[in-house]
Structures are given as structure tokens and as C-alpha cells.
Structure 1
């Protein structure tokens, strides 16, 4: 039998980069669970280069592209079995290709003190953290230390890596970054801000050497928000947005218009994503918002 490899890497592999001596805090960064979400992949690769140049304390593990098949297909799901990898953790060693992949990644992340799972929410979106802060007490402390300004409570869809890790007793969260869709675009500004924020977090965990003066030891102010709500078009019409993603607005603010009808904020909210001007059809999403907690 002859095995012919016509392109490297194999689509049934993933690369793990490990840094540090293993004595201390272990942090895992994952990205590329959805192949099209390339701002996340770019940030993960920035950290590979950073730790190659500077080294690390404790242990840092980085998987820049978890789902090679979806990455080369520029899709959210695998072309092998059409499964969404972030809905099937902890996977199954005897299942389909995606189920086996989930199982393998699950095993590789079991020892981590912290799991930071990087994703993208589209070019019309904004950067925020998905957390289970009201379900697990340590999550509130973790997101404050991480320091991203907006935290949205997860909708709780099972099978997500960060959610299942939390259920298993680990500290984990998901960072949504601007970019990814359409067609795997990278938002460099969002990537740069995320990289700098995570550098501070690595100082707190001790994985990056730092002096007592500049070490991050205090919680950052963040705004907590409830689960995401989607405002959908009730009929066909021209949608024109009036506001921007990543901004907070008060109850009653006009977010946009569908034909000549005002689309208003039903409560004080954070705009996670808002579509471009376009013709919307009945039932299509116009705005993704999260109610700000009192």
C-alpha cells in the first residue's frame, strides 16, 4: 500500500504549542474550533510567536486551529460530517471524525487551570466575553481579572468547550472577537486589543514574568449582561441601522429602521452585533442585544 500526501498538514490533525517548565499555572488557548473565525486564529498565532520569543513560566498550551477541516473549508462546521465542533464536547473516541476530534481536544485540555476559547462573531459584531458568571462563583472573578469590558451570560448551549469545562470544574470562558464572517476576514484592531488584554492576564497568572509594580493583581471594571436577545424583522423591508456594535444604549433608543418603522431598544442594552443596511426578510436577524444587569 502506498500513502500519497498531496498537501500538508493533514486535515485530521491539529498542532499544540507548549511553553514553560510545567511548574505552575497552566493556561490553554484554543482557536479555530469554527474554521471561518480567523481573527481568533490570528490572535492565537500571535501568542505562539510571543512565547517562542520570550518563553513562559508554568505551562502555556496553544491550539491555533482546532478544526483543520473546517479551516481549509472556511466553514463553521466540518465538511466530513457537518457537525459543529463547539456543540459536541466532550466528544466520543469511537464517533465520527468531529466527535473524535472533540474527544482528543477535550483530553488535551483537562489539566488546565484556565481555558480561554477564542471565537469570532462577524464583522458586524463586537468583542465581548461569554461567561457562566451567575452559575459559577469563580467566573465573576475570572472575567474581572481578564478585563474585557463587556461580559454576556452564555445561553447555555451544551457541548461548548468552555461550558463543558466549567461543568467539569475548570475555569473557562469564551471570547467573541469582531471578524471571521464574511469569508474568514481578520479584524486587526480587535486582534490587537485582545492580544494586549490577554498579555495582562498572563501576567496575573504568572505565566509571563513581571515586576511587582506592573503585575496585574486587581479586578478590572466590567459590565455584566444577561443572555443574548435577537431582534428580527417582522416583515420584508429595508433595514437601516442607526447605532454601532460594542456600544451601550438606553431603553427606548432608536436602533434603526425597518422601512419607516423605528426599531427601539426594549431595555438598557449592549449591542453585540447589528447588521449592515440591507433588505431584510421576515424572520431575519437585525440586531443582537444583551440586557444590562441592574
Structure 2
């Protein structure tokens, strides 16, 4: 059994003191807590190529963090932001950490509500996968070995792109592993934030059809599903519901785990620190093979 690193006591205590909540204050305090220990350095020979466009909209761009060696697995990271905000520049340390782990890290922006609504986010995830499969070899990546990681609203978009055949990427078979972190997968009325209502629409009659996990039809990719110890209850409940649905659909329990000591955002920020406790479970075969 692999023992994961623990946070220093003062960091763990600060996260626990914030409790199972997530709002602008918790976000700001969490980012400030991890900024001093976040490593943004690239490995020897690594390179970052910023603002590479995969579509015509100004939001349809990615930053590519290359590890400086050929034939590397590719990890696409789709961040959160409540469906209405978020920017890849906030995750430079995550991209650099992926490169240090030996992967080509692709950190993405996507179109946001209220200007762009369902299913634009899932369509953008699909477009990113196709873009990576078609062109990532130029950055040292394996076009047929793609891992897709989504966090929060990003996890909702990734789930829709992986589970819903209506928006599935053309190069779906190139996706080897999917990791979903604390996402919204079912559109229960009490679980919808204002941003989620803007994206999915206010008409509850449409929600069953628009839910990211409306179907669980998929390919051969492995799946990891995580929640955080101090996640708001809505994400724990949604993650557990998806885990049960996957167990019923696949006739075996999915890889469903809790990231201890962390809250909704700190679980992904931690990947860029000496206390990384998530890369092994998120990246799956990308790390197993390399």
C-alpha cells in the first residue's frame, strides 16, 4: 500500500478550519495557503507554449507544458469556475507539475455562461481531445494516450463529453483514463448553483436530458472519481450517486476515493507541492506506464 504525503500540520489545520464550504473567501484563502509552496518550474528541457487555440472563440485556447522528451502521455486538465468564471493562468503550477511527472500537460480554457450555455462546455472538451489527438505529437505527446482530468465544473463538462454520445469527441478512443474531481453530474434542483442554472438553464423540465451523467455509455477508458474531505455536501452526494450508478452499469465498483485533508479546490492545487497526494490516483495509467 502506497502512503500518500500529508500536509504540514498548520496547513491541514487551516483547511479544516474553513470547514466543508466553498465560496470566494475559501477560494482566496486556499490559493494564498498553497501559493508559497507551489512549484511552477519545468523539468530540464521542458517548455510551455501558451495560448494555443483549438477554436475560433477567444476562450478556446490551451497552455501546453511539455516535459522535454518524446512520446510522453498527455494529460488534459479542465479546471472549474462555477460554469461562469475561471482561467487557465490560475493553474500554471498544475501544468508545470504535470510536465515534471513526465506528461505533456494541457491546461484549458473553455467558453462560459451566460454567453455560452449547455452543451458548449462539453463541446469544448470534445474539441480539445480532438485537437490534442491531431496535433500533440509536435509537443512530444502521444496522440493515442490521453488522460482527461476535470475538476468541479470542469468535471461536469468532462463527464458530459465522455458519457454523452451527442457531444463525444471524434477521437474518443484515444482517451485512456478519465479523472473526475468533485463535479456536478445530476441536476437536482437543490444542488444547482446560480452559475449552474445559467449554464444548464432554469427550466427543470430540461434537466434530465442535460445532466452530465444522463447516460453512462462509454469506451474502454479507466475512470477515477474523487471528492475531498472538506467538500460541500453537494459534491460528496453527487460523487456517491455517480459511483453507485457506475457500479450498477458496469457491474463492478468504480475507483471512488476521498482526498483527505483537502477542500474543494486545495485537492488540485496540492499536485504542485511537495505534499502531492492526488497525482497517482488522477493520472492512472499515465504514471503506471512512465
Give TM class, smaller chain: 0.3 to 0.5
TM value normalised by structure 1: 0.34
Name which structure has the greater RCO, CA cutoff 8 Å, separation 6+. Answer: 2
Between Structure 1 and Structure 2, which shows a larger proportion of strand residues?
1
TM value normalised by structure 2: 0.34
Between Structure 1 and Structure 2, which shows a larger proportion of helix residues?
2
